[in-house]
């Protein structure tokens, strides 16, 4: 009973946050910093990139769709006077993830902030990644994990060069992470139990996976200067709802906040001086510390997931 009450309070706290105390005006000058935002072509990612450009960061727009990304870059150049850089990245295709990381590392030796922001939410359950993984887990977790792993040399180099001030990875999760009580490894690839679980539970599982992996990066590389944290950006109006039916979309819209709010928490983690001390933390709207799903603190589960992830990319 006590656990249920705590769960309900946690959901309410994250769904109806108080007025934010952090704003984009609090972001310091980011001149000289190199940043990647996955999914920067739309929604929260675009708002995040806009704020970074406005504060003089060099921003790579990592996205699958070149046309949409270049349009976003053009839009934000008109708004900010600063121009982002397109980086081709398809998180649902592991060779594409590897190519994107290699292309970035040809251009840069340091990466100060990585926003693992992109994601897919509740697509038709029959959709899979290029390599046959569940589309949500393959994109939201496996793709981002592999991208981050490949970029670790640049992240750690940035940390070393700045005495630990930079070298941050911000993993965008969701309040949906609270609704998964475990990881079902057999559902990571096409399997009868995956379709039985349903697309909404699979989304919750992938968002729990984001928190678990954020914690695992924190444990494994925190001593080397990496800062890895995860967050719930809030209930937001964005392209993520594109797969919802019209009735559910209307119901969900009643508790949604404008998209710019969704960038606040990850910008707080990524750009504030306080962010350097957020390794292993879980953040909630708007720019507050929160309590994650207790399952995300299971270190054995974290190790098991990490081992599974490593096995998937051995032949890439």
Q: What CA–CA distance (Å, rounded) separates 6 from 13?
A: 10
Tokens encoding 180: 């998964």
Tokens encoding 263: 């960038």
Q: What are phi and psi of 266, to 5 degrees?
A: -75, -30
Known catalytic residue: 195?
A: no
Q: For residue 115, what is the enclosing H or E element?
A: strand 113-116
Q: What CA–CA distance (Å, rounded) separates 80 from 59?
A: 12
Closest CA to 53 of 74, 26, 84: 84
Task: Judge whether 230 and 214 are in contact, CB under 8 Å.
Answer: yes
- Of the residues 173, 177, 228, 230, which is catalytic? 173
Known catalytic residue: 173?
A: yes
Tokens encoding 232: 């719930």
Residue 41 DSSP class: T
Closest CA to 210 of 313, 314, 117, 131: 117
Phi-psi region of 164 (alpha: psi -120 to 50; beta: other; left: phi over 0): left
- Of the residues 46, 58, 82, 207, which is catalytic? 207
Please identify which residue in the block is written with the tokens 């390794």: 279
- Asked whether the bond before 202 is cis by omega within 30 degrees of 0, the reply is no
Known catalytic residue: 6?
A: no
- Of the residues 203, 221, 261, 282, which is catalytic? 203
Strand bridging mode 113-116 / 168-172 = parallel
Closest CA to 119 of 103, 138, 102: 138
Phi-psi region of 50 (alpha: psi -120 to 50; beta: other; left: phi over 0): alpha
Task: Judge whether 149 and 128 are in contact, CB under 8 Å.
Answer: no
Q: Which residues are designated catalytic?
A: 173, 203, 207
């Amino acid at each position: 009973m006590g656990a249920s009450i705590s769960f309900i309070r946690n959901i309410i706290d994250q769904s109806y946050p108080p007025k934010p105390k952090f704003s984009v005006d609090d972001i310091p000058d980011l001149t000289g910093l190199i940043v990647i935002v996955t999914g920067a072509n739309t929604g929260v990612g675009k708002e995040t990139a806009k704020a970074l450009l406005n504060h003089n960061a060099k921003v790579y727009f990592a996205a699958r769709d070149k046309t949409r990304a270049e349009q976003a870059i053009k839009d934000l150049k008109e708004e900010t006077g600063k121009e982002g850089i397109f980086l081709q990245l398809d998180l649902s295709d592991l060779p594409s993830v590897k190519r994107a990381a290699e292309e970035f590392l040809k251009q840069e030796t340091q990466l100060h902030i990585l926003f693992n922001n992109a994601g897919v939410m509740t697509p038709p359950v029959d959709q899979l990644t290029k390599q046959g993984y569940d589309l949500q887990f393959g994109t939201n977790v496996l793709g981002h994990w592999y991208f981050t792993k490949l970029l670790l040399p640049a992240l750690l180099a940035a940390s070393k060069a700045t005495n630990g001030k930079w070298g941050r990875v911000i993993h965008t999760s969701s309040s949906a992470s609270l609704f998964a009580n475990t990881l079902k490894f057999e559902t990571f690839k096409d399997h009868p139990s995956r379709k039985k679980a349903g697309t909404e539970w699979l989304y919750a599982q992938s968002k729990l996976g984001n928190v678990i992996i954020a914690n695992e990066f924190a444990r494994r590389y925190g001593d080397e200067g990496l800062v890895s944290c995860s967050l719930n950006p809030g209930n937001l109006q964005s392209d993520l709802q594109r797969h919802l039916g019209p009735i559910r979309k209307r119901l969900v819209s009643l508790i949604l906040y404008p998209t710019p709010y969704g960038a606040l928490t990850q910008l707080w983690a990524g750009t504030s001086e306080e962010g350097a001390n957020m390794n292993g933390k879980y953040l909630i709207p708007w720019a507050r510390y929160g309590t994650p799903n207790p399952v995300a603190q299971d270190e054995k589960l974290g190790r098991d997931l990490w081992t599974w992830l490593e096995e998937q990319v051995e032949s890439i």
